Amino acid sequence: MKRFYVTTPIYYINAEPHLGHTYTMVVADTLARFHRARGSETFLVTGTDEHGDKIAAMAAEHGEPPKVYADRMSPLFQQAWQDCGFVVDQFVRTTDPRHERLVQEFLQRVYDNGDIYFSRYAGLYCTGCERFLTEKELVGGNCPDHKRPPELIEEENYFFRMTRYLPAVQQHFEAHADAIFPDHYRNEVLAMLASGGIGDLCISRPKSRLEWGIELPFDRRYVCYVWFDALISYVSGLKMHGEDTFRAFWPTAHHVMAKDILKPHAIFWPSMLLALGLPLFRRLLIHGYWVRGEAKMSKSLGNVIRPLDMKRQFGIDTLRYFLLREMAFGQDASFNEDAFVARVNADLANGLGNLVSRVLSMQQRYFAGCVQPLEGDTPADRDLQAAFAQALEEVPQWTEQLAFHRALEALWRALDRANKYVVDTAPFTLARNAQNLPRVGAILHRLLECLYTTAVLLSWFLPETSQKMFSLLGLDSPGHVPSNLGWGEHFPPGHRVRPPATLFPRIDLHRDEAAAPRPR
């Protein structure tokens, strides 16, 4: 059986889920559903990163122990993703004992192999970044991101002998052109590797400075530093379901993330895997930022659109549609309310929603919902069918290439044709004369087939909508992507479809604002 393993980064619990997190989840969820529809067994891992200076500091600010703080914050993510309906197979908390044990086991293994050494280190440390800064990075003596001076710290730490594995990592990415997507991020990684500027990786913090972390198994005075802890969640999430699950899924791993954490995933992680004697992940899938004006949507900056509020107000599929349709995966995209409303109204309300409404309405009015025989074969009929046959071919292809915006565009081209078909064939005019009713029935049957095919192709993009459509059609989802349209085979003789329902109400911001404050 084919398998597909997809991960998101584990999210740092210093803030609530934001749009960036949500986008990553939507992509991972969409990929998992797509591969499942293609017949693969899938596994999705996400989670929360709960260790580190910043978390300890935030907990202290709230006057609570770090674990209490983490126990309060982590469920915000878990609950959010559940509310959004994402198909999470394992939610990994880095404070989970199962995860901690694996991190320790891995640390010990690498240590035993001689790839971890002890050394003195001095540098300028920014607690905001949780890393050492170079002199050159400073702006006016301050950290450029956090606008405050770093501390001069000199201490002894453990280092992972990453340099030993960099040539092999470089070879791997040279040999596997698709291992990092999109291409230009692979080029950046290769440039980084070729520059020779990458050294060994500091993987510890003395407990005297930071207690909130996983203890090094070979030195109890130290805890593990972030990446050696966090990245291993991709493995621990699988191992929590057993060694067989790990062995089955790991080689198919697809790590989805935003571009800011490319380096740890493309350099540190493969080095770690090589040191551990594990196969490398299959691919890194790197997406851009949602920008609003100039600033990026980051967890440290304030201008955050609250995805859960949007979900509550407009529904998860409306949010999913906008995110997937508006961003070309890999590039930045801008998020603003006008674009959101325009897109949703034009495509979802006026396009898909209205088509469903008008077709089911006529089916109800002229035939009491009873589906009529599919007969006749006019040029318009063939045209319509060709449009959907093309969508059935293109949508999965574009999805496979992570061009979600193109996939949806392709599907909407077909939907536009369906709306045009209604006008061109004018069943509502034909229906005035009883002798035309067989033709009217055939036209509507074809349109119902359009909705069926659309529901199939939306099943990984807009799962809720897809389900609603199948329910309106009175049919079950086939659960997979069929190889051909199969029009004429879905509705048994005498089958009744349900009366129309509003899938996506038009958004009228001005009226909402005038009438009442929008719910938040």
Partner RNA sequence: GGCGGCGUAGCUCAGCUGGUCAGAGCGAGGGUCUCAUAAUCCCUAGGUCACUGGUUCGACUCCAGUCGCCGCCA
Where does this chain bind RNA (CB under 7 A)?
136, 184, 187-188, 191-192, 195, 197-198, 259-260, 263, 326, 328, 331, 333-334, 342, 345-346, 349-354, 356-358, 361-362, 365, 416, 419-420, 422-423, 426, 428-429, 500, 502-506
Residue 430 is encoded by which pair of tokens? 């034909």
Give the position of tokens 């500027």.
197
21 is a catalytic site residue: yes
Contact 103, 222 (CB under 8 A): no
In the complex, least distance from residue 136 CB atom to RNA, rounded to whole angstroms: 6
Of 259, 296, 420, 468, which residue is the catalytic one?
Answer: 296
Query: Which is closer to RNA, CB of 211 or CB of 508?
Result: 508
Query: Which is closer to RNA, CB of 17 or CB of 500?
Result: 500
In the complex, least distance from residue 207 CB atom to RNA, rounded to whole angstroms: 29
146 is a catalytic site residue: yes
In the complex, least distance from residue 290 CB atom to RNA, rounded to whole angstroms: 12
450 is a catalytic site residue: no
How far is 88 from 111, CA to CA, in rounded Å? 33
Query: Would you call 371 exposed, middle or buried from its count of C-beta atoms within 10 A (0-12, 13-18, 19+)?
Result: buried
Contact 247, 218 (CB under 8 A): no
Contact 131, 125 (CB under 8 A): yes
Residue 119 is encoded by which pair of tokens? 């050394």
Residue 110 is encoded by which pair of tokens? 């690498």
In the complex, least distance from residue 210 CB atom to RNA, rounded to whole angstroms: 24
67 is a catalytic site residue: no
Strands (E), 73-133: 90-93, 116-126, 131-133
Side by side, the strands of the sheet bearing 204-206 are 204-206, 219-224, 215-216
Of 146, 172, 259, 468, which residue is the catalytic one?
Answer: 146
Query: Which is closer to RNA, CB of 486 or CB of 499?
Result: 499
Query: Which is closer to RNA, CB of 95 or CB of 354?
Result: 354
In the complex, least distance from residue 204 CB atom to RNA, rounded to whole angstroms: 21
84 is a catalytic site residue: no
Instruction: State how beta strands 204-206 and 219-224 pair.
Output: antiparallel
Angle 350-304-60 (CA atoms, 0-180°, nearest 5)? Answer: 150
Of 299, 420, 468, 495, which residue is the catalytic one?
Answer: 299
Query: Which is closer to RNA, CB of 64 or CB of 326?
Result: 326
Contact 56, 211 (CB under 8 A): yes
202 is a catalytic site residue: no
Question: Inter-axis angle of helices 316-326 and 463-473, to 10 degrees?
Answer: 120
Query: Would you call 483 exposed, middle or buried from its count of C-beta atoms within 10 A (0-12, 13-18, 19+)?
Result: exposed
Q: State the DSSP H helix or E strand holding residue 170, giving kind and residue range, or none if neither.
A: helix 166-175
CA distances from 517 to 313, 316, 513 (A): 12, 21, 6
Of 84, 126, 224, 450, which residue is the catalytic one?
Answer: 126
Query: Which is closer to RNA, CB of 60 or CB of 386?
Result: 386
In the complex, least distance from residue 187 CB atom to RNA, rounded to whole angstroms: 5
- Helix, strand, or coil (residue 14): coil
The torsion of the CA quartet 241, 243, 248, 254, rounded to 10 degrees, works out to 70
296 is a catalytic site residue: yes
In the complex, least distance from residue 451 CB atom to RNA, rounded to whole angstroms: 12
User: To the nearest 5 percent, what fractions of the chain are helix, strand and coil?
Assistant: 50, 15, 30
Of 84, 143, 202, 450, which residue is the catalytic one?
Answer: 143
User: 360: Cβ–Cβ under 8 A, 6 or more apart, which residues?
Assistant: 472, 497, 498, 499, 500, 501
In the complex, least distance from residue 376 CB atom to RNA, rounded to whole angstroms: 19
In the complex, least distance from residue 285 CB atom to RNA, rounded to whole angstroms: 16
How far is 269 from 92, CA to CA, in rounded Å? 17
- So which residues are the catalytic ones? 18, 21, 126, 129, 143, 146, 296, 299
